[in-house]
Structure 1
């Protein structure tokens, strides 16, 4: 019988990771496995005393809640979370990243918009100011998509209703209001939309006219608004909405793909259904692709603040200056307060599925998740749904819940997304195409219709750099119009989920 494979990620680690399942009695790294260790999970290779740190990646991922002997399975039954000081050491690893001159940069085929941004898709969006107009927005989109009108416009990817559950019963100012307004504006002006229609009820807290005034939005061929009350009810609003989109179709169809530099790619970095392989295969490979994108002048947007908790000190070292690093720490402090006042805790993450896949604490999950950001300088930290303006690697403050986090990144301007998964996530994200990266062979093969790239071969010897180049090339191909698996399956209509902060009244 062959010896099970394992990985020791740092000489400082007191655990190894099971590439293959360790049967009880097998010889692993000079130790005898005392019990079965599932693939993706950890086994101790040194004694770990009570309250002594457990180390993986050369970093603390938790503390022994009981004495752990060499050969024992290391997981939630013998590892706990404790608070511990992180030395943020702002900007000490900041560097001048290599960026190729324009003539040497890779290119893709995208849509140049009137505001100068470049889109990778050409949808028409039907936005809603409030949940009260959600059904009408869906009726309008469904009527157009069923009508056959789009057959005459093959360059338009479809009509998508972006509906949500808020917009009223909320404060008309403050954090929650600002987040919703930024999100709505980000979608209304997104480069992957050729045109947008916003539908309201009329009497809601989130008034369309106020948003237009605050952001200087002017109605025209590419953006229009209406309310059910002013139009005369449901049937009249649906009919009027269909007519307005009919008029938008030929205008949106004028957009044609043209060659654009990779510097116009704004790549959202997401993970969901993570496992013990995520931080070893798909996440570092995606990080390598981000390093390539930055070299070609583009932008990578890491997010999910609760899922970099415990690894934020590695990012503050890469901040371009102390101000950027301090902003990230301020968001961490906000999250600590947010979870405390809602009687939660930061270690509520990882999920049961993450734990079944080998992740024990949020610290372990975060160290793997942060690898998606590569190794270049962190140029900016953005609040949720803020417009991403800096080139290079940046961070956006979002929840770890995938649909909410992704909605913020898209609202910020991300025109392509890469999504790593080890347990198997079914996620799409209109109007931004989502590329699925499987962390292991098992999920890639069992969910082949959902997965775009298999990163499990990193465990077989494929280099992270080579896999990163494969991902980078896939990003450019999808940006140029190649459909991802989630697009083929029709995902994305229901994944618009703005972050709802504050009281619902």
Structure 2
């Protein structure tokens, strides 16, 4: 597949044997080339740029002949000149009038938010109260929950921090706004916050800082105050029971798609992700934005090298500069460290055909679609701006998605080429497979096969509409594959930034 007329490579949509004639390009394959990998279609001199989507993804590490297999062995990772051109390509999106917007069956909350699910959450201020939360959650199993059919579950949200950490600056602020974002989430009917009592993430300080207050649907239990582990478990169970009847009264009703906020993720990417699943999700995001909704792009290290493609679409120079500032922070944060922003992607990414982070970023940015970049947020900040926005997160999927959900994403769309088995609570995850062989192999985990684009059976636009329709169905209560498997409880992972001491 030739992606742009100015490219000097094509991408193998299936495994290509040595000697295969690529008649359209007048070359023969000089090596066995795996699916998702690249083949040069003309000679490339040592040091010359490798172009994919007419974007530099590296430089020839040696003289390359037409027909050669191109990968990390002969593509050199190096700096790329970028013209940020803030706002040059921005154009306001034509938002559909309210009476023409798509609808889904949502859950209206008293504060005006709209949820796609209805959970009671068990939160811990510190890992020391994790066992209490886990045992309370285990008690409210499927059999005990049969009397509250409109409650999707009682879920413990466990993390590994809360004490022995920095109190000033980003680390504690980040943890607290992540927890508060989940507690206030539109998919959360109620919450019980469990603490030990002596931790640095002090319960009273946390509530005061985040403007949280106990009430009928928000309770607290402190282990040292109630007499230890067993009594805290008993108190926690009682607190959940007090909420269940009220949580069960919710009913779904038609709601505008403007109330849907998706967090967009990609993990276990391959060389076809940027050709099928990612651009198809971008097309779906465009439809959502036109319907008044919100799409959150994240994973800052995985847009490195192509961030200028987003700053050009920023609605203002100020918004574009926020993105550059976060990228500069990451480059300083990771200086001298063996991380993917410095070139080397995961073994799975490499096996799937991605030579370096520039190529990975180029494909990952396709999830952003074509609308303007409206705002840039720090990790777990509340997302209030409609349209396409960016949230600064690591590239590690559980940590990134946790930030998006804390920011208000009530659904996650997750593209994968290698087959990531990801799920999330309280916002369900839809998984999009980039190629048909993997989708066929892992149908129990994958929701939509985007490999139909590679197979010539579907267009990006058609697949984007299919994904958008599926977003509406899952937002209305249809279980995603990860939900059916019960995947998502362990994927709550606030960013562990800062010093542990």
Q: Kindly report which structure 2 residues correspond to 1:138-149, keeping only aligned pairs within 5 A, or say none.
A: 138-145=134-141, 148-149=143-144
Q: Alignment partner of 1:494: what SS?
A: helix
The aligned counterpart of 2:430 is 435
Measure how far apart 1:214 and its partner are: 1.1
The aligned counterpart of 1:165 is 160
Q: Kindly report which structure 2 residues correspond to 1:48-67, keeping only aligned pairs within 5 A, or say none.
A: 48-67=44-63
Deviations 1:110-146 (A, max 9, x none): 1111221111000110001111111110011111226
Q: Kindly report which structure 2 residues correspond to 1:65-464, keeping only aligned pairs within 5 A, or say none.
A: 65-145=61-141, 148-340=143-335, 342=337, 344=339, 346-461=341-456, 462-464=458-460
Matches of 1:163 and 1:372 in 2, distance apart? 30
- Deviating more after overlay: 341-350 vs 434-443: 341-350
Report the count of equivalent residues: 498
Matches of 1:483 and 1:429 in 2, distance apart? 12
Matches of 1:342 and 1:133 in 2, distance apart? 34
Against the structure 1 CA distance between its residues 403 and 36, is the aligned structure 2 distance closer, same or farther, given a 3 Å change threshold? Answer: same
Deviations 1:202-255 (A, max 9, x none): 100111211211121111111111111111100000011001100010011122
The runs of at least 4 consecutive aligned structure 1 residues that moved more than 3 Å come to 341-345
**Contact 2:340–2:357 (CA<8 Å) still a contact in 1?**
no
Q: 1:18 aligns with which of 12, 15, 30?
A: 12
Measure how far apart 1:345 and its partner are: 5.8
**Contact 2:80–2:305 (CA<8 Å) still a contact in 1?**
no
Deviations 1:59-80 (A, max 9, x none): 0001111111111100010011
Q: 2:465 aligns with which of 456, 463, 469?
A: 469
Q: Alignment partner of 1:216: what SS?
A: coil
Measure how far apart 1:178 and its partner are: 1.2
Matches of 1:342 and 1:227 in 2, distance apart? 40
Q: TM-score, normalised by structure 2?
A: 0.98
Deviations 1:44-67 (A, max 9, x none): 111111111111011000111111
Against the structure 1 CA distance between its residues 156 and 118, is the aligned structure 2 distance closer, same or farther, given a 3 Å change threshold? Answer: same
Q: Alignment partner of 1:435: what SS?
A: strand
Alpha-carbon RMSD: 1.0
Against the structure 1 CA distance between its residues 478 and 200, is the aligned structure 2 distance closer, same or farther, given a 3 Å change threshold? Answer: same
* Unaligned stretches of 5+ residues in structure 1: 1-6
- Deviating more after overlay: 28-37 vs 241-250: 28-37
Q: Alignment partner of 1:63: what SS?
A: strand
Q: TM-score, normalised by structure 1?
A: 0.97
**Contact 1:271–1:421 (CA<8 Å) still a contact in 2?**
yes
